[in-house]
Amino acid sequence: MELTLWTYEGPPHVGAMRIASSMKDIHYVLHAPQGDTYADLLFTMIERRGQRPPVTYTTFQARDLGGDTAELVKKNIKESVERFKPKTLLVGESCTAELIQDQPGALAKGMGFDMPIVNLELPAYSKKENWGASETFYQLTRTLLKEKVSSSEKISPLRWKELGRRPKVNILGPSLLGFRCRDDVIEIQRILSEQGIDTNVVAPLGASPDDIERLIDAEINICLYQEIAEASCEWLRRNFGMEFTNTIPIGIKNTIEFINEVHNKLDLPMTNKEELEHKSKLPWYSKSVDSNYLTGKRVFIFGDGTHAIAAAKIAKEELGFEVVGLGTYSREMARQVRATAKELNLVALITNNYLEVEDAMKKAAPELVLGTQMERHSAKRLGIPCSVISTPMHVQDVPARYSPQMGWEGANVIFDDWVHPLMMGLEEHLIDMFKHDFEFVDGHQSHLGHTATKTGDSVNSEDKEDKNSKEGIIWTESGRAELTKVPFFVRGKVKTNTEKYAILRGIPEISDETLYDAKAYFS
């Protein structure tokens, strides 16, 4: 049993709903009690979709349990097929139905329909949303393409040359409730087409079962979100020899690397390489003198695997931040996140527990948090500015304007979204210079007002209550006065370090001088 006050991912059948809702001509019959229909609002409210998810819930009740719930399943399947006439039917169960073992998928297959039926077995007590989405997409791909496996030859990435046309690729992984997927697809398609590459199919977002059957008309697959598409890409490689890309085009360097990877795979000559660097404003904005203040800003990153890894790289290499924490809730991507963390001399935080994340965040004392909707709340409580980079998200993270994360425009968006919560360059200098002016009270942020000064103080409420350390070390008047001059976001850290230093040296009283000694010692 796991105690949760907040969960980063929904159950696996919600992942399946993400695939079904992303696609056309598909219907999902979900054996589930009435309350599970709440999942619809994730799509209609958070994503502001004007359509209901194509899902029929069987709505079984306690009084049905003694009787024949299997009949209820069949009735719902029949009605759904008649009403919605899907080209492919997904059948599955939610956590409760899994326990009563009606096997709705098998029931559906026995009903004599002539459309493909995908039987989804998604273990609700051990797996979660992203896994469910990935498995659903994989099962769907497999079901729709398995008859073509034996008849088809391996697909060469160079086939386009033989056929005398532009190379074609599939873009796999974007789905509803993914982070800015819709805009990412537009951006990536544009970049590819500039390079003379055509998009064959985008899936699951906007695809129909017919499109899935057409996947093998492309030469390679672009695995855009590994959480969702990697399993399908692997299967397509095993069975059709289709290669797929590994680089996620988030950030300038990754985008260039991505374009490179695609060209290499397709054996396409890379054109005007140096021009690529100028496609986005990020490099120049990052270089401009106002950005000087960004140097070494301490940033804490937590999110899904894909976005957390990308964020770490951009933060360090493209914005000149110092990454002081990196983690993910995606256990499936723990290995990659650990590797990235290691390169940064960090130990990755792999957890589902937001309180652990909050603790780590507090300890790392960052100046900026890049996280999910939950980290937005934790950061607010700690008085630290935050930008959301990953699901789970709030309705405001589905903006009306075009705001991809990937490609050139994505890099622009990232520069703005991450940097705006911070103070701007000259502004920070001025505040520093005039910080003794009475207007600049402790914790003053900027006219942007993203963080409340009140909550900023609350980080230190602990310090205020217990002015002296637990080990019996006393802070003198001068020591305490000096400590309050330290910016609030690192104050906790400075306090612990100074005390550590005092203990080490056997100093019983901490004065302003001790604080400076400690500072020198630890730097």
Partner 1 sequence: MSKVEFNKETGPREVFCGLTSIVWLHRRMPDAFFLVVGSRTCAHLIQSAAGVMIFAEPRFGTAILEEKDLAGLADAHEELDRVVNDLIARRPEIKTLFLVGSCPSEVIKLDLATVAEKLNKRFLGKVRFVNYSGSGIETTFTQGEDGALKALIPLMESSDEEKLLLVGTLANNVEDRFKKIFRNLGISNIESFPPRQSTELPKIGKNTKVLLTQPYLSDTVRDLKHLGCEIISAPFPLGIEGSTEWFLSAAKAFKISELKVHEIISPLINRAKLALESHKEILKGKRLFLLPESQLEISLARFLHNECEMDLIEVGTPYLNKDLMKEEINLLPDNTKIVEGQHVEKQLDRVRESNPDLVVCGMGLANPLEAEGISTKWSIEMVFSPIHGIDQAADLAGLFSKPLRRNQILTSKTLVRQ
**Residue 14 touching partner 1 (CB under 8 A):** yes
Residue of the chain from 25, 40, 234, 243 that contacts partner 1 (CB under 8 A): 40
Burial of 249 (0-12, 13-18, 19+ CB in 10 A): buried
Q: Which one-letter DSSP state was computed for residue 42?
A: I
Return the structure tokens found at 424. Answer: 């701007």
Spell out the residues 6+ positions from residue 401 whose beta carbon is closer than 8 angstroms to its own: none
List strands edge to edge, sheet with 198-203.
198-203, 168-172, 220-223, 243-244
290 given a catalytic annotation? yes
First to last CA, the chain: 44
Residue of the chain from 27, 28, 60, 360 that contacts partner 1 (CB under 8 A): 60
* CB of residue 396 to ligand SF4, shortest distance in Å: 8
Return the structure tokens found at 347. Answer: 């130990």
**Residue 399 touching ligand SF4 (CB under 6 A):** no
**Residue 177 touching ligand SF4 (CB under 6 A):** no
Q: Are 255 and 249 in contact (CB under 8 A)?
A: yes
Binding mask 23-62 for ligand SF4 (x = CB under 6 A): ----------x-xx--------xx----------------
**Residue 431 touching partner 1 (CB under 8 A):** no
**Residue 4 touching partner 1 (CB under 8 A):** yes
**Residue 458 touching partner 1 (CB under 8 A):** no
Strands (E), 204-287: 220-223, 243-244
* CB of residue 415 to partner 1, shortest distance in Å: 27
Q: Are 502 and 510 in contact (CB under 8 A)?
A: yes
**Residue 508 touching ligand SF4 (CB under 6 A):** no
Judged by CB under 8 A, the stretch of 31-39, 152-160, 253-261, 431-439 that binds partner 1 is: 31-39
Q: Tell me which residue has tokens 């300038």.
A: 252
Q: Are 427 and 404 in contact (CB under 8 A)?
A: no
Spell out the residues 6+ positions from residue 272 whose beta carbon is closer than 8 angstroms to its own: none
Q: Are 302 and 327 in contact (CB under 8 A)?
A: yes
**Residue 377 touching partner 1 (CB under 8 A):** yes
- The entry of ligand SF4, partner 1, none near residue 3 (CB within 5 to 8 angstroms by kind) is partner 1
Judged by CB under 8 A, the stretch of 94-102, 111-119, 238-246, 342-350 that binds partner 1 is: 94-102
CA distance 224 to 238: 19
Return the structure tokens found at 201. Answer: 């199919």
375 versus 409: smaller Cβ distance to partner 1: 375
177 versus 360: smaller Cβ distance to ligand SF4: 177
* CB of residue 42 to partner 1, shortest distance in Å: 6
Spell out the residues 6+ positions from residue 85 whose beta carbon is closer than 8 angstroms to its own: none
**Residue 405 touching partner 1 (CB under 8 A):** no
Residue of the chain from 44, 96, 119, 497 that contacts ligand SF4 (CB under 6 A): 96
129 versus 499: smaller Cβ distance to partner 1: 129
**Residue 150 touching partner 1 (CB under 8 A):** no
CA distance 370 to 307: 10
Q: By rule CB under 8 A, what count of residues binds partner 1? A: 56
Q: What are residue 56's DSSP bridge partners?
A: 29
**Residue 39 touching partner 1 (CB under 8 A):** yes
Which residue out of 267, 290, 359, 437 is catalytically annotated? 290
Q: Are 422 and 297 in contact (CB under 8 A)?
A: yes
Residue 36 in marked binding region: yes
Report which of 274, 248, 252, 251 is spatially closest to residue 261, judged by C-alpha positions.
248
**Residue 476 touching ligand SF4 (CB under 6 A):** no
**Residue 149 touching partner 1 (CB under 8 A):** no
- The entry of partner 1, ligand SF4, none near residue 10 (CB within 5 to 8 angstroms by kind) is partner 1
Query: How distant, in Å, are the alpha carbons of 87, 257, 321, 512 from that of 197?
Result: 30, 16, 35, 64
**Residue 1 touching partner 1 (CB under 8 A):** yes
Indicate if the alpha-carbon torsion angle 262, 187, 341, 130 is positive or negative. negative
Known binding positions for substrate: 425-426
Q: Which residues bind ligand SF4 (CB under 6 A)?
A: 33, 35-36, 45-46, 95-96, 394-395
Q: Which residues are catalytic?
A: 290
Q: Which residues bind partner 1 (CB under 8 A)?
A: 1-7, 9-11, 13-14, 33-42, 44-45, 48-52, 56-62, 64-65, 76, 79, 83, 94-96, 99-100, 123-126, 128, 373-374, 377, 381, 394
